[in-house]
Amino acid sequence: MLKYLARRLSATFLVITLVSMSVFGIFAVLPMDPAALTCGKACSPAVIEANRHRLGLDVPVHVQYGRFVKGLVVGREYGEGAAKFECPAPAFGYSYNRHECVTTLIAEAFPVTLSLAVGAFILWLSVGVSLGVLAARKRNEWQDRGATAFVLIGTSLPTFISGILILLFVALKFNLINPLEMGRWVSPLEDPVAWFRSFIFPWITLALLYAAGYTRFTRSSVIEISSEDYIRTARAKGLNERDILRKHTLRAALAPIVTLAGLDFAGLLGGAIITEGIFNLPGLGRLSIRAVLNDYDLPTILATTILAASFVVIANLLVDILYAYIDPRVRVAS
Amino acid sequence: MTLKPFLEVKNLNVAFPTEDGLVQASNDISFTVARGETLAVVGESGSGKSVTSLAVMGLHDRKRTQITGQAFLNLDSGPVDVISADDEVVRKLRGKAMSMIFQDPMSALHPYYSIGNQLIEAWALYNEGDKAAGKKRAIEMLDLVGIPDAAKRVDEFPHQFSGGMRQRVMIAMALINNPSLLIADEPTTALDVTVQSQILQLIREMQKEFNMALILITHDLGVVAEVADRVNVMYAGKIVESGSAEDIYYRPDHPYSIGLLNSIPKIGELESKRLVAIPGQPPSLINLPKGCSFRARCSFTDRVAGNLCATTAPTLENKTTEHFSRCHLTEAELVKARTEIGGR
């Protein structure tokens, strides 16, 4: 097991390194000059060159990458003298549009995205799994048909429709949120009620989409496992239906859902661009989309991309380890 | 003194409603099994062997199955009809009064739980005591069914066992609460030939040990000859012949049984001789035609007076006291048929 873990960890590290290298490489060949983007319209070549030097863009790309990695570990300084600016480790770079260390920007945005992802995750997992189990148990009865209708609505409504509908016709119509307060981050540690109120509708929006998929997946998984021979064995032993479902069916039926849930959650941690946009949440998704659309803020894009990829890769690793815990066959094979 | 049979099945019908019509999988089945006795149920796939036993075990989904008739378990506390009894009543008989082992031991054990866990779970349903006591009993049972090093292997998982060993585990689990009736549904079909006889031997030993009534479902007539006291031959959902193992082997009274016996290769015969098969296919169990179900595959219909085989379904009649057959042929004609196709 330890050997397996070591192998998987190094593989994970390698993937993240490769992702960061390729993103770095892509930006190096982009037909725009980051140094030119740093100053306004009236810009002299001398200022651009000075900025280029200040931002460390005047050296070959592999040296830039080396500095980037070094910055991640020990922090980084930009410029000299009075214009000196320091980003402490882990330094993802310096946003020349926002005049801020990228790490600071991310540190501000991440709690928002984390709140959004965790709440939505809990909501969709509990709704999706319980509705899926119910539909499977009451197959072809009205509960099942109701669940199917929910799945249909949930999967066919994109978040940019459902989010706006929820915002306009529920949240704002019934004065459930103050539009002036939208987009203001409240820490759950300071004011849990306000935090909850600012996130409940984004949670519902995101959860609606995911819960629909999980309902469908859980339903078919439970139905499939219910017809397994070992479920018949459990029944032949004299177990009651509740224990058969709880101990025998769900254990096997939910195993694949662990994989799905881990990856979906990790994907969300990279930022939910549309939902954050609709509800004006200052999370990673909004940070990325602004960096791309408005600012050409390459260091920020670089950081959010690497971060999003890392979440997925790390989640993959965690899911695999968890899976070995769930399924003894995997445990022995590894 | 003849003991009252432990299981008495009377006029049992099992049918599955489908979009194409009602599938009559078990049709007017009656039989009994006493403790210590072995009843073999023989027939090809889809003849209703398993469906009948699953009905006795109460393992059919009642919402998707129509079951009529009776199946009495003669318990010490009095007879219980498992067909009409409450689900909860039947559930509490499963694993305790009656147990079942299945065809494919590879898939019949839960892959995520250790052998011990699954045995203890079965034990804990009907016994007071902590996990340690359950584990002790589990090891005892594994030992009894011939799992070497049981104390160590009890913590292993099903995938770490071979097919034969898994079937032994299944047997241990089925017997952990001393049931009075064991239904073994093709317990050796999925196993290697060399392992088959070991498992069969084990089932026989366990039957003696626990003095159980045993229903052995199989399509292997060799198995039947080895272990059965009595035999039910099933075809298209009906019992077509029922008698002692000797009767069925030496004096088969139904053209189907005769055909089945005749299809077994015999040692000493010319190698080049082709195996004899019964021509045709069993009929669909939806809207069974009038008359005898076996008629289309029977080579003796012309010896029955009139068009009886096509118009009237034969009833199960006794040829001798304990030997029943569902055929319009006279005894004399059957004896002739036996010698003609069987050469026995």
The complex's ipTM works out to 0.89
Statement to judge: residues B182 and B293 lie in one domain: no
Nearest one of B110, B216, B261, B224 to B173, comparing CA atoms: B110
Share of chain B above pLDDT 90, in %: 59
3-state secondary structure of A139: coil
Residue type, A289: I
Partnered with residue B234 across adjacent β-strands are: B239
- Residue B191's pLDDT band, with cuts at 50, 70 and 90, is confident
Pair B182, B267 in one domain? no
pLDDT at A291 over 50: yes
Query: Are B101 and B158 found together in one domain?
Result: yes
Give me the mean pLDDT over the A168-189 stretch: 85
Tell me whether B160 touches chain A (CB under 8 Å). Answer: yes
Q: What is the pLDDT of residue B101?
A: 94
pLDDT, averaged across chain A: 89
Q: Is A232 on the interface with B (CB under 8 A)?
A: yes
How do strand B213-218 and strand B181-185 relate by DSSP bridges?
parallel
Q: Taking all residues of chain B, what is their mean pLDDT, rounded to a whole number?
A: 89
Per-residue confidence (pLDDT) for residue A175, from 0 to 100 = 83
Q: Do B122 and B35 lie in a common domain? A: yes
Say yes or no: A99 contacts chain B, CB-CB below 8 A: no
Q: Does A332 touch chain B (CB under 8 A)?
A: yes
Range of the domain at B277: 252-339
Give domain A105-329's CATH number out of 1.10.3720.10, 3.30.460.80, 3.30.360.10, 1.10.3430.10. 1.10.3720.10
Check CB contact under 8 Å for A332 and B159: yes
Residues B297 and B151 in one domain: no
Residue A98's pLDDT is what? 83
Which of the four pLDDT bands, split at 50, 70 and 90, describes residue B272?
low
Report which of B100, B97, B116, B120 is spatially closest to residue B108, judged by C-alpha positions. Answer: B100
């200022």: which residue's tokens?
A47
Grade residue B185 by pLDDT with cuts at 50, 70 and 90: very high
Residue B240 within a domain: no
Q: Is the pLDDT of residue B259 over 90?
A: no
pLDDT of B69 > 90? The answer is yes
Close Cβ partners of A322 (under 8 Å, ≥ 6 residues apart): A258, A262
Give the pLDDT score at A333: 57
Q: Crossing angle of helices A192-226/A142-156, nearest 10°? A: 120
Average confidence (pLDDT) over A152-180: 88
- pLDDT tens digits for range B156-168: 999 999 999 999 9
| pLDDT of B123 higher than 90 | yes
Nearest to B171 by CA among A245, A251, A236: A236
Q: Could you tell me which residues come within 8 angstroms of residue B220 by beta carbon, excluding any fewer than 6 positions away?
A: B188, B189
pLDDT in tens, B74-100: 999 999 999 999 999 999 999 999 999
Q: Distance between CA A52 and CA A43 in Å, rounded?
A: 13
pLDDT at residue B2 is higher than 90: no
- My answer on whether B55 and B108 are in the same domain is yes
Residues B198 and B90 in one domain: yes
CATH of the domain at B85: 3.40.50.300
Distance from the Cα of A231 to chain B's closest Cα (Å) equals 8
Say yes or no to pLDDT of B1 above 50: no
Q: What Cα–Cα distance (Å) separates residue B279 from each residue in A162, A214, B295, B309?
A: 64, 51, 11, 17
Q: Which of A236, A239, A329 sits opposite B159 (nearest CB)?
A: A329
What residue of B is the nearest CA neighbor of A141?
Answer: B63
Of A114 and A28, the structure prediction assigns the larger pLDDT to: A114
Confidence of residue B153 (pLDDT cuts 50, 70, 90): very high
Is pLDDT at B344 greater than 50 in this prediction? no
**In this model, does residue A96 exceed pLDDT 80?**
no
Is residue B344 domain-resident? no
The predicted model gives A21-36 an average pLDDT of: 82
In angstroms, the CA A80 to CA A86 distance is: 10
Q: Give the DSSP H/E element, type plus range, for residue A101.
A: strand A100-101
Indicate the domain borders of chain A.
14-90, 105-329
Better pLDDT: A97 or A188 = A188
| B157, part of any domain | yes
* Helix (H/G/I), strand (E/B), else coil: A94: strand
* Contacts B64 to A, Cβ<8 Å: none
Whole-number Cα distances in Å, B167 to B148, B158, B219? 14, 10, 18
- In A, minimum Cα distance to B160 occurs at A329
Tell me if B146 is assigned to some domain. Answer: yes
Based on the structure, what is the number of domains in chain B?
Answer: 2
Which of A101-115, A210-224, B216-230 is predicted least confidently?
Answer: B216-230
Domain final residue pick, B227, B244, B260: B227
Which residue from A238, A248, A255 is facing B95, i.e. has the nearest CB? A238
Residue B287 lies in a domain: yes
CB contact under 8 A, A328 and B95: no
Residues B281 and B197 reside in one and the same domain: no
CB contact (8 A) between residue B108 and residue A327: no
Domain membership flag for residue B241: no
